[in-house]
Structure 1
Amino acid sequence: MPNIITIKKGLTLNLKGKAEEVELAAPARGTSYALSPDDYIGFVPKVIVQPGDRVQAGDALMYHKQIPELKLTSPVSGEVVAVHRGAKRKVLSVEVKPDTTIEYKHFDTAGVKGMERSKVLSLLLESGMFSFFKQRPYDRLANPNAEPRDIFVTANFTAPLAPKFSYLVQGREDELQLALDALTKLTTGKVYVGVGAGELTGLQGVERVEVRGPHPAGLVGVLINHTAPINKEETVWTLKATDLLVIGRFLKTGKVDYSRTIALTGSEAKETGYVKVLPGARFEEALAGRLGKKGAHERIIEGDVFTGVKVDEEHERMSLGIDQITIIPEGDDVHELFGWALPRLKEYSRSRSYFSWLMPKKEYTLDARVKGGRRAMIMSGEYDRVFPMDIYPEFLLKSIIAFNINDMEARGIYEVAPEDFSVCEFVDTSKIPLQQIVRQGLDELYKEMN
């Protein structure tokens, strides 16, 4: 009998600009590629290259000071042109000018199915592939020295305009299975894979779990909470199935190739569909003239509208884990008379303030405005109506704000990540930055407990 989880709480936000299942033209080649340690929560960098050094794709650029075997590797071959630093010599990024033809460092990955755990782990660490692994509790870069109780993978992307994994995995099923085989070597527990209804029916050696329902049904936190919740002093590792495709290709070829197919989405996108990119490049170089329709008053987001990162001077390059680019109106050129007081059919409202709720299949164009000021948290149950985990979100958030460790532990802090509260943040009438609160709480708790 298949494992099926049906989620009723949540929110399906139907936005304009879904990615059509077509392959778009390849992006332009970047003049340089860079890695930023800030993309990896908990990574303390020690740079091991300097300007003028030559590297191959797969050569280490930096390692974790506290875990030296954990490395970040170059996505291209070429010359290191800069090590960018900020205040107090903080490492911001390492920049590499690419060769015309990429040269790959070769790793011996033959016979993964017969390898011992230590060999598989060593390969992932040396190649930089382990940087895709995250752990709970604390939702940070996984510690390879702590063996996980279980490993959880999500292949069910339910966020607004999210890419369809069933399209991305076409023709690459063997690479996905190879990566899953490697995961089974890393834990004595189980490997759980959350999938959409009727998808990936041929998986072997893992626990396949169908998760049905509105977003956040596809988040790995929901999968964990409904299959094998985390207790204190337990550790689990989490990954996205799109990252497994990169890992599987590495295990198949022995080459560190970070290229991946992403979805180009959003109501303001000049074109929508799927495009193969090499992360590390600047957005404005790789996709010059292909993002927004207007070129102004637009918000470009790496990721989805709930959890994505705004593309600006501080985040100008694609991260290695990119899956989606979303372009929506900024909203800074909009001036409305009477605002919410007017009856409307084109505006979205979770609380049915507008008559548009009578058209459940309608697609909306939402801009980046918050539309309100920050107020006190109201105990109205609005979070609970979209939070499908066995946790009381309002009470957990209040304990995080007060930093009451005992209360945080009792209310499930070890199970959650900021993304689990993304829908709560969207529907919150108090306009409180819930994801930021959870992130700060997890970081402070990690410092306190370690």
Structure 2
Amino acid sequence: MKILKPAGFSLLLVTALLLQSQSSLTGGNLVFYSIAALALIIFFFIVVSVADNFMVIESKQMGLDNEKEAGLFPHFNQLFQSKQPDYLKKAHVFTLRAGYDIPMAGEPVEDIREPKVTRFAISPPDYFGLRPIPKVVVEEGDTVKAGDPIFYDKQLSRIKFCAPVSGEILSVTRGLKRSIANIVILADKEQQYRDYQLPKPTASRAELVDFLLESGVWPAIRQRPYNVVADPDLVPRDIFISTFDTAPVAPDLKLAVRGRMDVWQAGIDVVRRLTEGIVYLGLDGRADQESPYAITRGVEKRYFRGAHPAGNVGTQIHHIHPVGTGDNTVWTLAVEDVLLIGELFQNGRFDTSRLVALSGNSYATPHYVKTYAGANIGELLAGETIRENSRIISGDVLSGTQTSEGGFLNYFDNQVTAIPEGDEAEMFGWLLPLRDRASISPTIPVLSNQIDITTNSHGEKRAFVVNNDYEQVLPMDIYLTQLMKSIIVNDLESMEGLGIYELVPEDVALAEFSCVSKQPLQQILRQGHDTMIAQG
């Protein structure tokens, strides 16, 4: 807001006096008093607005729930926003103004099936920061149990990457420059689990860390900055866990803990011992009913309301306690990872079972399947009716990885999306809107909340266009355009100052979707992370 300075106010009064002195006796006084009254109204409006802005800034620095409610008067959108449910009245709530929910068809229904999957894989590329050629400790034909070590990074030999299922090693598949693409396992009909000697309840943190490293569950813990596998030699400032997903047609994570709340709580109890700080639980504040995760003990609960990416753990970290350098290192876990730790300590099993959503408008009936980490995509989709010429994605449409029926589910994914390829020609493109499409632009009306999304990007890569599209969908105080440009020109100081430590690729995925310049923002950000890691 442009503030009227005292000099401008004085000039307005002088102008009013001149007009009054030159006016006639009949209407001069009326003109003078009208202008003077208008000037006073403007002056007091500016004073009140500035005071309101200062109160909002102060409340934000103090970490109040809704900084917009701390001003002198309510904002326009607060007058018409929906009423919060009763369970949020005394909760710590963050209401996000930026973001966008893509109105995509293909949300999975609550129908859980168990397809017969015989092949599973553990893939080094799923873990960012590892060397492309790790040390593989098994050979083709070996028999392994779930939890047996498969490989380790030569620089991180303490961290073991273990078999998600028991069975026989079928193959060690190599990629470019003899890098390890994946190690494929033919699963046993009845799963066999590695035996563990659990640490005592009185074990120290160091003993607990050593056990987690040896057991194979440690790679599930990720570290920010950079979203790499957590460094066991560091003690994180805090640990963050998001319990809901707002990505397009994402799975309902409440189903993951149905009947397993004891396992969930056991995992949380272990995670609490890994930090001297706080374990923050990001909860869904958009629903009418309270989340089942709300009964979790020993954590700080924060509710989030708003459009995607409200469910991203990076967004939650930014609003609760941002990450940076030095002692600002934090760790993150997904719901499935907490359950993995809970199963280990509750039942003594390395159990990577999870619910995976088969979602997207290419499926005849989107639903859920129960399987293990690293399942073969082809066997997972066997018997499914999928539209021809569709793209299969491990993950969601914004940040997932294109795969095929010969590929395998990425370790950190709990969704397999299928959408039509957008390779057909469009007459006049966007100039002739013949079909409904998702867009953050008000010039393109969205007539349905069940749009058949395709892979068509509706344009080609071009020079950066400076606008406010990123700010509309990124609920963070980060100048994303300037950050991306600094990465491209390899300006390390600017990258650090503009907030590269706070972001991972999934945080900018929605901005990439809305980018009119069609820039590969996730790829650019990962390039920046590689540069910063190389520089130490």
TM-score range, shorter chain: over 0.9
SS in 2 for 1:92: strand
State the number of aligned residues. 439
Which of 17, 24, 29 is the matching residue for 2:117? 29
Which of 194, 210, 216 is the matching residue for 1:105? 194
2:344 maps to 250
Letter in 2 for 1:310: Q
Q: 1:335 and 2:425 equivalent?
A: yes
User: Which portions of structure 1, spanning 4 or more consecutive aligned residues, are displaced by more than 4 angstroms?
Assistant: none
- Partners of 1:108 and 1:235 lie apart in 2 by 30
Letter in 2 for 1:211: F
Taking structure 1 as reference, are residues 345 and 38 closer, same or farther at Cα in structure 2, changes over 3 Å only? closer
The 5 A counterparts of 1:404-423 are 404-423=491-510
Which of 301, 305, 320 is the matching residue for 2:411? 320
Which of 442, 449, 464 is the matching residue for 1:352? 442
Q: Percent identity?
A: 39
Deviations 1:57-111 (A, max 9, x none): 1100111211211011112222223222334332222222233322110223376
Letter in 1 for 2:397: V
Which of 391, 394, 400 is the matching residue for 2:481? 394
Letter in 2 for 1:88: K
Q: 1:221 and 2:298 equivalent?
A: no
CA shift, 1:343, in A, is 4.1
1:232 maps to 325
Which of 273, 279, 287 is the matching residue for 1:185? 273
The 5 A counterparts of 1:21-420 are 21-24=110-113, 26-30=114-118, 32-44=119-131, 45-109=134-198, 114-197=202-285, 198-199=290-291, 200-233=293-326, 234-290=328-384, 292-294=385-387, 296-312=388-404, 316-332=407-423, 334-344=424-434, 346-356=436-446, 359=447, 362-420=449-507
- Partners of 1:117 and 1:323 lie apart in 2 by 30
**Which is worse superposed, 317-326 or 212-221?**
317-326
> Which structure dedicates a bigger proportion of its chain to helix?
2
CA shift, 1:265, in A, is 0.8
SS in 2 for 1:379: coil
2:46 maps to none
Deviations 1:252-301 (A, max 9, x none): 111111111111111111321211012233211232231x523x310111
Taking structure 1 as reference, are residues 171 and 75 closer, same or farther at Cα in structure 2, changes over 3 Å only? same
CA shift, 1:120, in A, is 2.4
SS in 2 for 1:355: coil
What is the alpha-carbon root mean square deviation over aligned residues? 1.8
- Partners of 2:117 and 2:389 lie apart in 1 by 26
Letter in 1 for 2:399: T
CA shift, 1:13, in A, is 0.9
8 A contact 2:96–2:475 mirrored in 1? yes
SS in 1 for 2:249: coil
- Partners of 1:37 and 1:98 lie apart in 2 by 19
2:40 maps to none
Taking structure 1 as reference, are residues 138 and 85 closer, same or farther at Cα in structure 2, changes over 3 Å only? same
SS in 2 for 1:383: helix
5+ long unaligned stretches in structure 1: none
1:17 maps to 106
- Partners of 2:179 and 2:433 lie apart in 1 by 51
Taking structure 1 as reference, are residues 300 and 338 closer, same or farther at Cα in structure 2, changes over 3 Å only? same
8 A contact 2:103–2:438 mirrored in 1? no
SS in 2 for 1:181: helix
CA shift, 1:318, in A, is 1.4
SS in 1 for 2:294: coil
Q: TM-score, normalised by structure 1?
A: 0.93
5+ long unaligned stretches in structure 2: 1-89
CA shift, 1:345, in A, is 5.9
8 A contact 1:194–1:210 mirrored in 2? yes
CA shift, 1:347, in A, is 2.6
Deviations 1:102-143 (A, max 9, x none): 21102233765x432123222322222111111111221211
8 A contact 1:155–1:242 mirrored in 2? no
